[in-house]
Amino acid sequence: MNNIYEEVQIILHGVWQRRWVALGVAWGVCLLGWLAIALVPNVYQSRARVFVQLDSVLPSDQTPLDQQKALDQVRQTMTSAEVLERVVRNTDLGAGVQSDRDIGMKVGMLRQNVTVVSQQDSLFEITAKSSNKALSGQENARLAAQIAGGLIQAFQETSVAGGIASTGQSLKFLDQQIDARGKELQAAEQRRVDFERKHLGSIPGGGSIGARMDAMRSEISQVDSQLISAQSALAGINGQLAGTPAEIAGVGPGGGPSALAQAEGQLAAARAQGWTDSHPDVIALRRQIDMLRRVGGGGTRTPNPAYLSLKSMQAERSATVSALQGRKAQIQGDLNNMVERQIQEPGLAAEQDKLNREYDAIKAQYDKLLGDRENVRLRGDVQSEGGSLKFRVIDPPSASSIPASPNRPLLLFGVLIAGIGAGIGAAFGLSQVRTTYPTIGRLEKATGMPVIGGISDVETPLRAEQNKRQARWFYAACSGLGGLCFVLLAVEFIQRGMSA
């Protein structure tokens, strides 16, 4: 810690010994810096905020990316050459303009002094600057406000007129494209009709060959499922019919059904319920019927109603199976015919798919163009009524007599600090370049030899008077530097107060 304290003392001593050099450098840096600040012109700024919303009447199906592109287009339109030229002609910037070249130069200058920033959705901040040295502060402030207001007015006029003109051009272009796509669509449709008439007239159905073949295979699968179900039902009816007698015994002696007829009726009912011949009740009934037939208890015989019902159901199931088999044979024949034609002409399906793709692509473009034309026409009607652009001034252009830049008070004080720092740095650097030995320890370290002792500075009365006089001059020069800085600050604030 003692070594650090000693080093700090040595540095301060070296700077103090060269304090006049530090003071001279500080004065030089400050004077040059303040002169440079004085040459920088004041820039007066005007700000305004506007709300711009496109297509406020019609519903919009734009994506967020499309909306962002639209907002960027609005921002670019505000700073376009057409809008800036209107601003030049409608403000004091147009004074003294005699040729298009002069207007071009004014527009180029204005483009550097105007910025439009998108703050939020549809909210824009317009900033206009003016720093003409030939004008006073109030005139520059008023000109900046004129530029901001003229920019807003010029954008409104340009956007409305340009929107209507753009709508007319868009409709004309879309009509031309629709006519061209309509002719291409008719040609593609005619080619497809000629192809179907030439190659596919004998094949039933519509659509491409591959699609029809897939539909036929799917229909065959459905018919197969229905056919299996119908055949199963027919087999069940045949099984029941095989175990049902065609005739049953008639009436008995008392006029009622005979015992044989009753037994056969019970057997038919049991089989109708699905009982098999191995069922105990069915076996008992069959034995009873055989016994009654042997003893002659049959009486007269009449047709069996259950048998007739089963025969009717059998006929219906057989007709269903026959119809399904016929339908399957017909579809299979058509499918075989198409497969055979594909084998004979392998490029037929590819050519038809190509024609269909061309037709579908052209039709999709044609339909989209029709929709776009209708949208543009509606938006054009809205623009002609003044409802397409919703424009509102949130904050009117401001007019401040205080310059936005440069910040002279801060710069003046900053130059003073920089000058003092430069002077101290120069003195410290000079002390490091010139080798001195302010302490006995540093002399011993430099020579490597022991130092017996040192002689302190002896100050005579004359020398003391000279030191006091030089100290007064030094402090006066330092005070003068600081005083000059405060004088410049006071002048700056006085000028601002007079401008206000």
- Predicted confidence (pLDDT) per residue in 349-380, tens digit: 566 667 777 878 888 888 888 877 777 676 65
Q: Are residues 343 and 256 in the same domain?
A: yes
User: Which of 106, 190, 198, 196 is CA-nearest to residue 143?
Assistant: 106
Q: Are residues 353 and 238 in the same domain?
A: yes
Lowest mean pLDDT among 154-168, 397-411, 415-429: 154-168
Note the pLDDT tens digit of each residue in 431-466.
777 666 666 666 666 667 776 766 666 667 787 788
Lowest mean pLDDT among 13-22, 212-221, 449-458, 473-482: 449-458
Query: What's the Cα-to-Cα distance from 415 to each of 137, 148, 314, 452, 483, rounded to whole Å?
Result: 24, 34, 117, 48, 14
Cα dihedral 329/334/335/337 (nearest 10)? 120
Q: Which residue has the tokens 């339909």?
A: 367
Within a domain: residue 372?
Answer: no
Please check whether residue 159 is in contact with residue 389, taking contact to mean a CB–CB distance below 8 angstroms: yes
Q: Are residues 411 and 489 in the same domain?
A: yes
Please check whether residue 82 is in contact with residue 73, taking contact to mean a CB–CB distance below 8 angstroms: no
Q: Which residue has the tokens 């003109």?
A: 165
pLDDT recorded at residue 302: 66
Please check whether residue 466 is in contact with residue 49, taking contact to mean a CB–CB distance below 8 angstroms: no
Average pLDDT over residues 255-281: 72
Strands, sheet with 44-54, edge to edge from the N-terminal-most edge strand: 114-120, 123-130, 44-54, 389-395
Within a domain: residue 170?
Answer: no
User: Which of 423, 295, 355 is CA-nearest to residue 26?
Assistant: 423
Q: How many CA atoms lie within 13 A of 475 on its CB side?
A: 5
Q: Is pLDDT of 164 > 50?
A: no
Cα dihedral 191/192/197/200 (nearest 10)? 140
pLDDT recorded at residue 166: 53
pLDDT recorded at residue 57: 40
DSSP letters spanning 209-246: HHHHHHHHHHHHHHHHHHHHHHHHHHHHHHHHHHTS-S
Within a domain: residue 13?
Answer: yes
Residues 314 and 308: their CA atoms lie apart, in Å, by 10
Task: Name every residue whose Cβ is closer than 8 Å to that of residue 363 and which is 6 or more positions away in sequence.
Answer: 185
- Total residues found in the chain within this entry: 500
Q: Are residues 342 and 437 in the same domain?
A: no
Q: How many CA atoms lie within 13 A of 405 on its CB side?
A: 6
Within a domain: residue 228?
Answer: yes
- The three-state (H, E, C) secondary structure of 118-148, written as one string: EEECCEEEEEEEECCCCCCHHHHHHHHHHHH
pLDDT recorded at residue 175: 77
Estimate the share of the chain in helix, then strand, then coil, as percent rounded to the nearest 5.
70, 10, 20
pLDDT recorded at residue 444: 67
* Bridge partners, 283 (sequence order): none
Within a domain: residue 244?
Answer: yes
What pTM value is reported for the model? 0.46
Residues 68 and 65: their CA atoms lie apart, in Å, by 5
Q: Are residues 421 and 317 in the same domain?
A: no
Q: Is pLDDT of 144 > 60?
A: yes
Characterize the bridge pairing of strands 389-395 and 301-303.
unpaired
Please check whether residue 83 is in contact with residue 64, taking contact to mean a CB–CB distance below 8 angstroms: no
Helix, coil or strand: residue 390: strand
Helix, coil or strand: residue 46: strand
| DSSP symbol at 337 | H
Q: Are residues 328 and 248 in the same domain?
A: yes
- Which of 326, 359, 392 terminates a domain? The answer is 359
Task: Name every residue whose Cβ is closer than 8 Å to that of residue 459 and which is 6 or more positions away in sequence.
Answer: 467
Q: Are residues 238 and 334 in the same domain?
A: yes
Q: Domain span at residue 315?
A: 209-359
Residues 372 and 171: their CA atoms lie apart, in Å, by 9
Residues 348 and 461: their CA atoms lie apart, in Å, by 126
Residues 288 and 29: their CA atoms lie apart, in Å, by 141
Please check whether residue 131 is in contact with residue 42, taking contact to mean a CB–CB distance below 8 angstroms: yes
pLDDT recorded at residue 162: 45
Average pLDDT over residues 272-296: 76
- Which of 298, 333, 359 terminates a domain? The answer is 359
Within a domain: residue 197?
Answer: no
pLDDT recorded at residue 183: 82
Q: Are residues 230 and 294 in the same domain?
A: yes
Q: Are residues 218 and 354 in the same domain?
A: yes
- The radius of gyration of the chain from alpha carbons, rounded to an integer in Å, stands at 55
Q: Are residues 231 and 336 in the same domain?
A: yes
pLDDT recorded at residue 352: 65
pLDDT recorded at residue 461: 79
Q: Are residues 456 and 343 in the same domain?
A: no
What's the distance, Cα to Cα, between the start and end of the chain in Å?
57
User: Which of 59, 50, 69, 58 is CA-nearest to residue 122?
Assistant: 50
pLDDT recorded at residue 210: 64
pLDDT recorded at residue 31: 93
Residues 200 and 198: their CA atoms lie apart, in Å, by 6
Average pLDDT over residues 472-486: 90
Please check whether residue 366 is in contact with residue 28, taking contact to mean a CB–CB distance below 8 angstroms: no
Q: Are residues 352 and 228 in the same domain?
A: yes
Within a domain: residue 195?
Answer: no
Residues 251 and 254: their CA atoms lie apart, in Å, by 8
The mean pLDDT value of the chain amounts to 75
Query: What's the Cα-to-Cα distance from 64 to each of 57, 70, 163, 225, rounded to whole Å?
Result: 18, 10, 22, 52
Within a domain: residue 265?
Answer: yes
Q: How many domains does the chain have?
A: 2
